[in-house]
């Protein structure tokens, strides 16, 4: 349960939560830059460290007294999301700011987030609004991965452009830490999807180049994101039946597509010459999946719902329109991202699955009153 939106008194305090793991070289410059930027008001920094044992704890403790800093060292827990959740529970500022320790989230932008919370419940540090940028460090492949991950989360936070950000702030009464899933690294998306926000805004920033320490991005983290995303959709939309039907259609689509790619008629480039031979077989396999999904959704997912007039034609039109999106994403994955056709098709189907569900729910079927 999200709980009711209850206005709490503003104690004027800003709590900045910084999860850390082996970031000892970044502690002092981060605190000094924050102190210079926030040279007014009542604020604190809580470092939540996963027992780095690299000098992070000692470095923070050496700053106590000179700056409003403190540290929580977790001995038997790991993970950025759970660190943030523990940090929320351990602080009491009426405004909460979450940021990374690696200085890729510029401390100089924190005052803008704090100010934005004067009139908004959620303020998101954004690379994708005017004035913001993902910076110059990212490779083309990482930009593609980020864009796909951001798009996958669109229905969960449709008013926000940078749904993958880890740089954000919120008014304390709008977020119940007990309902946050402390799995994975995208705690910002968890907050966006489960918070009780009446107003949100995005504050532009440029993702800085990491100067010290090592990036934590890995395949494991990407896998955790997919798991987190699935759990958020189940919680947010209660679409388990639709997902099962989509999973069946997914297997049908990928299975037929794999077979067709090995048929010489298609792989020879006779239908689509050149390097785009993989597109036409995908159209055929998708059409089979579209028909099976419609039948299963009609008799199971939306059982008890009324089908709008010309529901079958509406579904077909929706499916064909989104098939164009499927093809676009498949082309993007294969030609730009250099992903093999089977993998690209798998990602494209997953992305457009979300769009199809939302259109089907609003345009094809309607719940009986």
Predicted model pTM: 0.65
Residue 236: band (very low, low, confident or very high) from pLDDT cuts 50, 70, 90: low
pLDDT number for residue 57: 95
Q: Give the DSSP H/E element, type plus range, for residue 125.
A: strand 122-126
What number of residues does the chain have?
A: 369
Q: State the pLDDT at residue 211.
A: 64
Is 114 a residue whose pLDDT tops 80? yes
Q: Where are the domains of the chain?
A: 13-229, 239-367
- Which of 160, 164, 110 shows the shortest CA–CA distance to 138? 164
Instruction: Please say whether the beta carbons of 238 and 227 come within 8 A.
Output: no
Predicted confidence band at 33 (pLDDT cuts at 50, 70, 90)?
very high
Tally of CB atoms within 10 A around 310: 11
Question: In angstroms, rounded to a whole number, what is the distance separating the alpha carbons of residues 115 and 8?
Answer: 18
- 19: which strand partners? 48
* Model pLDDT for residues 122-149, shown as the tens digit of each residue: 999 999 999 999 887 777 877 888 888 8
So what's the architecture of 13-229 in CATH?
Answer: Alpha-Beta Complex (3.90)
CB 126 within 8 A of CB 162: yes
CA 295 from chain centre, in angstroms, equals 31
Answer yes or no: is pLDDT of 274 > 70: no
What rounded mean pLDDT belongs to the chain? Answer: 84
In contact, 173 and 5? CB cutoff 8 Å: yes
**For residue 216, pLDDT beyond 80:** no
DSSP code at position 216: -
Note the pLDDT of residue 95: 96
Q: What is the rounded end-to-end Cα distance, in angstroms, of the chain?
A: 24
Cβ 54 vs Cβ 129: under 8 Å: no
What's the mean pLDDT in 53-59?
A: 94
- What is the SS3 string spanning 233-248? HHHHHCCHHHHHHHHH
Q: How far is it, in rounded angstroms, from Cα 287 to Cα 8? A: 53
Identify the DSSP state of 79: -
**Per-residue 3-state assignment (H helix, E strand, C coil) for 320-338:** HHHHHHHHHHHHHHHHHCC
Token representation of residue 63: 């700053």
Q: Averaged over 107-115, what is the pLDDT?
A: 96
Asked whether 308 and 253 are in contact (CB, 8 A), the reply is no
User: Tell me: the pLDDT tens digits for 297-315?
Assistant: 787 777 666 777 777 788 8
Q: What are the structure tokens assigned to 222, written together?
A: 């990407």
């Amino acid at each position: 349960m999200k709980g009711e939106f209850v206005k709490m008194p503003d104690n004027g305090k800003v709590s900045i939560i910084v999860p850390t793991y082996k970031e000892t070289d970044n502690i002092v410059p981060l605190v000094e830059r924050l102190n210079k930027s926030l040279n007014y008001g009542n604020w604190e920094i809580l470092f939540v460290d996963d027992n780095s044992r690299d000098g992070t704890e000692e470095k923070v403790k050496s700053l106590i007294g000179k700056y409003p800093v403190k540290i929580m060292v977790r001995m038997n827990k790991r993970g950025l999301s759970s660190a943030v959740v523990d940090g929320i529970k351990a602080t009491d500022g009426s405004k909460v700011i979450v940021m990374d320790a690696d200085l890729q989230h510029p401390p100089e932008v924190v005052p803008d987030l704090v100010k934005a919370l004067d009139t908004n419940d959620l303020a998101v540090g954004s690379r994708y609004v005017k004035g913001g940028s993902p910076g110059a460090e990212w490779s083309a492949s990482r930009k593609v991965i980020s864009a796909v991950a951001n798009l996958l989360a669109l229905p969960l936070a449709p008013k926000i452009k940078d749904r993958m950000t880890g740089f954000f702030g919120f008014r304390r009464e709008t977020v119940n830490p007990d309902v946050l899933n402390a799995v994975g690294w995208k705690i910002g998306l968890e907050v966006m999807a489960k918070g009780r926000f009446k107003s949100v805004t995005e504050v532009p920033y440029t993702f800085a180049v990491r100067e010290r320490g090592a990036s934590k991005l890995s395949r494991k983290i990407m896998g955790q994101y997919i798991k987190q995303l699935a759990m958020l959709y189940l919680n947010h939309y209660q679409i388990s039946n639709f997902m099962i039907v989509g999973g069946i259609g997914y297997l049908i689509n990928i299975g037929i597509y794999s077979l067709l790619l090995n048929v010489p008629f298609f792989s020879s480039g006779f239908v689509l010459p050149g390097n785009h031979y993989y597109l036409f077989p995908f159209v055929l396999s998708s059409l089979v999946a579209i028909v099976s999904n419609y039948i299963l959704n009609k008799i199971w997912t939306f059982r008890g719902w009324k089908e709008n007039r010309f529901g079958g034609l509406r579904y077909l039109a929706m499916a064909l329109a989104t098939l164009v999106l499927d093809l676009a994403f498949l082309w993007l994955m294969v030609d730009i991202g250099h992903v093999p056709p089977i993998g690209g098709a798998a990602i494209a189907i997953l992305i457009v699955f979300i769009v199809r569900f939302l259109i089907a729910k609003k345009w094809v079927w309607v719940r009986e009153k």
